[in-house]
Every structure is written in C-alpha cells, then in structure tokens.
Amino acid sequence: MLRQNEAGVLSGSEFFFNTIDSHISNLFYYTSLCGHYYCDDQYIIDRQYYDSLLLILVEKGSMQFSYHEKEFSAGEGDMVLIDCADPQRYTADPYAEFYWMHFAGANSLELCSHLTRVHGSPLFHMPNTKNAAIQIRALLRQFTTEQIISDAEQSRLIYSALCYLMPGNRDTGSLSEHTPTQQAVQYIHNHLSGDLSLKRLAAEVHLSPSHLIRLFRAELHYSPHEYVIRCRMDRAKYLLKTTDLPIKAIAAEVGYGTETSFTGAFTEKIGISPRKFRDMPLG
C-alpha cells in the first residue's frame, strides 16, 4: 500500500530503494530509487529540483511532460530521459503504466547530457527504445524478485540502456540464481528481522564464514555484514514511506533491538533520521 502523498498511484504499483556506499558513486552507475507504477490522471509530479537523473519507460497508456520549456507526450514504448536538477512536470494522461528510475553515478550526467543533445530531445520513440527497455525491465525484475543485483551488474544494465538509445549496442548475461551467494541473499531478504550474523548465514549455505565472505566480495563487492545493513536500510526506507508503523515497530521489523539503535544506524548510513526521511517527498 502506498501512502496518501502518492495521489493517483494505483494498486499493484511498487517501488524500491537502493542504498549504496559513497565510494560506489565514483565507480558505477546506480539507481537510488526505482519503481513500476500504474497511475490515473490524479498522478502529477511537479518539482523544481531533485538531485538525480530520471529515466521513464511507458509500457501502456500515455504521459504528458513539461521540461526545458517544452511540452510533449510519451506513448507506449517511449522513453524519457530527464535531468531532475532542472524543473520538470509530468502526469498520466489519463492512465499510464510505466517503469521509472532515478539514477546517478560515475559520468552519468555527462553521458545523458551528450545523449539528449545528440538526439535533440529527451523523448525517445520505438523502435529505438526496444533494447533499452529490455535492460530497464531486467533491472526492475531483479529488485522485484529480490535477486542478486551487484553494483557492477546494476551499472551495466543502466549503462546498456543508455547506450541502446544511441547507434551501436551489445548485450551480456546476468548472474546465476543458484550460487551460494544467491542462496544467502534470499535468506537475508526473508529474515531481515532475525539473526543474520555471519555464522548463521554461513551455516545456512553450508560454507565456512571465511569462504562466504570471499564469495560475497567476489560477486557483490560487499561483505555479508555490509550487505545485510544495506538490505535493512532499504526495507526500512520502504516501510517508512509506505506504512504508518511507529519507528519502534520498523526497527524490530528490520532487525534492530531498540528504536535508539535503529535511529543511530539509519542516521549514520542515510544521513538523516528516520522521522525526517518519512516526511521527505519521494521525489
């Protein structure tokens, strides 16, 4: 269920937070927030500034955009690339199903500026968007199904989507769903409120703790503990934005014994307190 400040967002819609370490932003492309929305004409985003780039893929229906003092419509199969540092407004018209992704990192701003300048517009039409759309759906599918989504794989999918919007492209594969790391990741997602110590995770996948650490670092570039914290922060963000649960209840839901310990960990990792994060607009 979405909170009331998401006017026009219909049942079945979902969104995902993605918490990353600061050093990753200099190495990879990454999404900070993404989703798959079904919206009616009550859905209106009108903002002056948001510190990210935005890529929207319209699956069904149509959307109206106002950006850089131009008005345009995006229909089925179209993609729109926006620098949210500039004022923008977009709505469902009168219904739209679409994927969306706020992203940043590495040289993403320079690449996107070049891409829209060469293309002459932030609006991209079929059939030029076909392969780019495959990458975006693949990225969102991994969030939806809680599959491994390493920083490198996430960056590849975003970068590939952007490159597919220009002449010349290639595609590559994805990670296996049955590795010990994947099994551990699934266990983490299913037991965020429980014991996720290294010893426990290693026992679940029948490996030594040191071996599991090596596998995690090789596939995800995180230790198991770092990945657990990342998942707990993402889940906490989701609960803060989609429920009215007390902070204490959310703390328990994501594996913290007290509200104080959760608030301290959240503030240190995210940069603001849970209460302030709950009051912030999604963007």
Regarding predicted confidence, which is higher, 7 or 282?
7
The residue count of the chain comes to 283
Distance CA 9, CA 46 (A): 15
**pLDDT band at residue 221 under the 50/70/90 scheme:** confident
Instruction: Establish how many alpha carbons lie within 13 A of residue 28's alpha carbon, considering only the half-sphere containing its beta carbon.
Output: 20
- pTM (2 d.p.): 0.71
What was the pLDDT predicted at 5?
Answer: 56
What was the pLDDT predicted at 59?
Answer: 95
Average pLDDT over residues 145-167: 86
What was the pLDDT predicted at 202?
Answer: 95
Determine the number of helices (DSSP H) and then strands (DSSP E) in the chain.
10, 8
Average pLDDT over residues 248-273: 95
Residue 173 CB neighbour total at 10 angstroms? 7
Does residue 147 register a pLDDT over 90?
no
Average pLDDT over residues 269-283: 88
**pLDDT band at residue 26 under the 50/70/90 scheme:** confident
Write down all domains in the chain, each with its CATH number in brackets. 14-164 (2.60.120.280), 180-279 (1.10.10.60)
Range scoring the smallest mean pLDDT among 1-10, 182-191, 244-253: 1-10
β-partners of residue 97 are 38, 60
Q: Burial letters for 244-268: b for 16+ Cβ neighbours within 10 Å, e otherwise?
A: eeebeebbbbbbbeebeebbebbee
* Strands (E) located in 105-158: 123-124
Q: What is the β-pairing status of strands 123-124 and 79-83? A: antiparallel
Distance CA 208, CA 199 (A): 8
In contact, 186 and 178? CB cutoff 8 Å: no
Q: Provide, rounded to the nearest whole percent, the portion of the chain with pLDDT above 70.
A: 93
Distance CA 44, CA 281 (A): 13
What was the pLDDT predicted at 283?
Answer: 56
Q: Provide, rounded to the nearest whole percent, the portion of the chain with pLDDT above 90.
A: 73
